[in-house]
Amino acid sequence: MARGETYEEFTAKFEPKKTTDDCYTPPEVYGCVLDWAHREYGFDLAKVARPFYPGGDYERKEYPEGCTVVDNPPFSILSRIVKHYQERGVGFFLFAPTLTCMGIRNCCKVVTGAGVTYANGASVNTSFVTNLDPAQARSAPDLRAELDATIERLRREKAKALPKYEYPDEVLTAPMLARYSKYGIDFRVGPQECSFTRALDAQRGQGKAIYGSGYLISERAAAERAAAERFALSPRERDVVASLG
């Protein structure tokens, strides 16, 4: 390890780095899209292909007669992918970014504008491109409604599943700083006053962690943080407290 480097920082260097193309689709979202596209276009579900996965090669893949690609491809090469399938007569219904999908030529743009949060945490305003539809561009209110319902259900399940932890004053997380920003509290911690951590030792023994990671902060910074979170009582309120039995 480098001098001054924590164990977490050292091991993080060897973790696979995700790019903006690594938008792994939640199964529930994919299922919603697949069901709608099947109802709309009537392709054979037994011949649906998903060639876009880590290590996959969509250009070398064999596509049987009557195959339909329903998948979430790398957005950075979407035009090239569409051209590849069009030239080979392969049917497709592909995820696409709403803001730039109209620039994809020679296919139909099914614009839903659904705010999908993918499995890697990337939130993308999502629509679709296809060669299964005779239109050049269209809306799809029923697909949007189904996606919204699915996304909301996933959001509720995630919110319900996330554990609520109360951390000591010496721990600083992104949600804490976001709360300070919201309520007008200016709080800062310097590089010499903090140490990166993914989990407290007490959490590790239970297989738990700090969601999104955080920092251990110095006692001085912790005292400032504790003070920042406490509202002082007014003289009137102190009089009320004093009068209570």
Asked whether residue 35 falls in the same domain as residue 156, the answer is: yes
Asked whether residue 153 falls in the same domain as residue 183, the answer is: no
Question: 48 CB contacts (<8 Å, ≥6 apart)?
Answer: 34, 67, 68, 69, 70
Q: What pLDDT is recorded for position 181?
A: 87
Q: What pLDDT is recorded for position 241?
A: 86
Q: Number of structural domains, the chain?
A: 2
Does any domain span residue 22? no
Distance CA 97, CA 64 (A): 28
Lookup: tokens for 202: 């007490």
Low-confidence ranges of the chain (pLDDT < 50): 1, 13-22
Q: What pLDDT is recorded for position 61?
A: 94
Q: What pLDDT is recorded for position 229?
A: 67
Asked whether residue 168 falls in the same domain as residue 48, the answer is: no
| pLDDT tens sequence across 197-232 | 999 998 888 888 888 899 998 888 877 777 776 667
Q: What pLDDT is recorded for position 20?
A: 41
Asked whether residue 39 falls in the same domain as residue 128, the answer is: yes
Range of the domain at 42: 27-160
Asked whether residue 178 falls in the same domain as residue 110, the answer is: no
